[in-house]
Amino acid sequence: MATFPLAPLPSIISSSSYSSVRSLPTRALRASATEPSDPILASRSLYPPRREFLKGIALQALPLLLLKDSSPSLAKEVEVGSYLPPSPSDPSFVLFKASPKDTPALRAGNVQPYQFILPPTWKQTRVANILSGNYCQPKCAEPWVEVKFEDDKQGKVQVVASPLIRLTNKPNASIEDIGSPDKVIASLGPFVTGNTLDPDELLETSVEKLADQTYYKYVLETPYALTGTHNLAKATAKGNTVVLFVASANDKQWPTSQKTLKAMLDSFQV
């Protein structure tokens, strides 16, 4: 049976009444706590419980917390078209330019800024703290997820970053220094699929140059992938990091979204 802590007695109770209350057996006190007319229960309305007091403080502070965290949280609840600018190259898309306020690695200077386009109806999704690299910046030993966006009807995209040292001992290596497209995807494949990558699932590879940056591009059919049965990927290396852009869709999404996902992939650059 639950017991109630005895709140301070109000001044209207005389000392003789208090003595009589104290003399009551413990069982009687427990039973009397449920009686509306009990003076001890009445006193609880004069001295609000600590939980209610703290709850009131929390409710007053909530708007301030929301304002403080409005940038990341609100962006994850609304369509990106409501806060990202139209893409100069194609106004039917919006342009996402990653900045230090977006990810721990960018704030630590561990990743160079990157950008890509996406449909205005997509939404940004939260990246779990343990996956974001927040706990290990600026010297993470394993890859981490930078940002994620998705749309229920079209698919999802994410940017994954890997420490360069995981792929090569050469500092500031280019993607070509690391190896061929096949060698790079063999190392990064699990971060495309979410589990494993079979060499037979790689359908197409290509090499693209944008300014002085080289990118490896991949088309994969991955029936057992956690990310989706269809995956597109694009990788490059800059500074101390290899950056991987992944666009994924399931069989239902792919027929109508593959053109959109390919446009997003093509737009990605560091």
Percent of the chain with pLDDT over 70: 72
Cβ–Cβ under 8 Å, residues 215 and 266: no
pTM over 0.75: no
pLDDT in tens, 167-226: 999 999 999 999 999 999 999 999 999 999 999 999 999 999 998 999 999 999 999 999
Q: Do residues 167 and 245 make contact, with C-beta atoms less than 8 angstroms apart?
A: no
Q: Could you report the per-residue pLDDT of 129-143, keeping only the tens digit for each?
A: 889 988 899 889 899
Position 138 scores a pLDDT of 87
The amino acid occupying position 13 is I
Residue 228 has pLDDT above 80, yes or no: yes
Give start and end residues of each alpha helix (H) in 159-270: 175-178, 181-193, 254-267
Query: What is the SS3 assignment for 129?
Result: helix
Cβ neighbours around 238 below 10 Å, total: 18
Pick from 114, 59, 49, 85: which is nearest to 244 by CA? 114
Average confidence score pLDDT of the chain: 80
**What would the mean pLDDT of 110-118 be, rounded to a whole number?**
96
